[in-house]
Structure 1
């Protein structure tokens, strides 16, 4: 049996050994971390950047690496930015087809800048910097997270006030917002909301601080609508008419159709069809375009008349009728000319006289003349 004192000593020795072992483990881990970090480092200027679609962004960092490693000279061979791996290797962004012609890696004095032009929303990612020497390699965490956003302004109304919100993928407080009224800067702040007293002639847009040249599309009330009528504004009775209304507006306009002296709308939507058009459909109509920022109207007149299609049919019918009469007219002329020619020919032909029709006294005279001639010839003999 082990005396209690010895047991206590053994326990104390065991605890000391355990503590020593634990301390050694911690020390070794610390040494490992220190060895892994000693002389190596990447410092990013920003860990989060929010940029606007179509713009150019610059991601910056500075780096260090040990001049000697494992008793040998440690020489820098390559540095590059990456977002992903391919076949187990980090992909240099300057060789990635996705960024072809849009990316530059600018380095000098251990300071590097990644410049990306013509940003797209698919460029949103985490960008890291990698160092490669003749002995080892290192890349810095956590990198810089880039969010590329396409700005939009959302509109809501409260009485005479208009509440606008600049929608983006930026985290709250990540950037400052700038507001423009009729293209003139009127407000700046970290809030994405703005409260304005709106008038129909006003337009508003927003931008991110540092990206003022890439504002959101402006929001504004509908402009004066234009109306097209098919087939024409003067309609043949019984035909169908299609009316189309369009207005430049942001947010997009909603459309309502009205007829004069009627309180209720005739229809809603951008296209209004009237089938079997009658005289009672004639009159003045209005197209109303409205959104949360205002409304605008255009008025026009429809009436029953000879539509263009009917007019064309009548023209064709008349033309065909004329063409059908031409042969009849020519035949009539030819017949008349033939009759006239026959009459002229008969007038110039000599008359045939029958001997039987000669009067008797004419025969007697002819006989007497012949007798006298005979007598003269006999006397001469």
Structure 2
């Protein structure tokens, strides 16, 4: 099973009564899981499928997307009543001024009452033969047994659209939402790019890939180059000497009457010394014959009368700071404008990397601007700073610090004028590691203070205990005195217990002689308290 179509992601779908794809013995095998193809080219997708013997496949088709609750749409296309429309080509690219045939086949199971083609961009389907824009350029051919063809001649770029075929019967009308054939109308253009030193490469190009792989033809000074030269890389490319004064153009074989333009206009800007004016010159890449007359345009509007500032037909003098854009062409070739020249506009600044700018990191500011001729000078400024910061399209700040905080802007300048960008604010955040270091330092300091205070309190408590002992020792300041001071139980020292054991009776003054050999250690303590000596 195969399908030829424009590049897209497709899947194959098998339909049978009460059968779901991929279950109960049904399978589809694709030759290739993914395909990469050029836009506008052709691609062939193939697959094979198998199914149980007890079933019968009633139809097969390809589709591009599957949505829950939505019936897959056949690329054919076929409706639920087995009416069917099949387009010969889904995409067609042809040259402006040529003729194109868009065809399809259709199957209707009822007697057809009308058939016609229409554009999809119309609010309501309108038969092209009745559309004023196609008067005298549209013709239908064919029947339901042969391809039904829409022929459009004298193609214009505005004919680019998607075209649909529809038919009606007494009780049925083919759906208008089904896809059709997309037509793109393009012109030929010769693009010039630098090649080896002293040479240029000419490329015959179009805005889309022409259908049917055409053969390109080159012309030199109006004469066809029948044989490829040694400088010709391929049929649509030609290498010429940069200094050549010959005129080149290209066409497509079979449509030789549709040449590309032979001239490529450009506007050169020349500043006038010591003047606020600039001279614009309309020039070409080849020498024009017959002394052509140049036409100037300002903001897209033709300048019919030469102004007082115009020196000659191919030059124009304008204010250097003017914001207007100018282009030129040659009389009788008004379709071939030069690119417009204008001062820089839409100037802006971007920063990389994006996100928070941290102290110590690096950032790059880039200036962008739309200008023709291209910007030839970029200058960087910082608000409230007199001197310039840098020049060039990019400005890098390394090891950024808080001093770099501020608003930055750039100036873009070309031969037509200059423009400043809006200012970009640079905010520098404190480096996260510094904050963490400070936090850790504070925590350590607090811990040290706590330890010091704890040690001080412990020391004071130890000192308080010694004072209490001293108070107890002062109970008997005079060993010859029998007067005793009441003991404070809270501050009593261990010596009290020793004293109590020596004097079991506080009212008795009788003392037992002490045996020095058998004295206990308490004696020394008692001696200290009473002032005795041994």
Give the TM interval when normalised to the shorter protein.
0.3 to 0.5
Task: Please identify which structure carries the higher helix content.
Answer: 1
TM-score of the two chains, using structure 2 as the length reference:
0.32
Higher Cα radius of gyration: 1
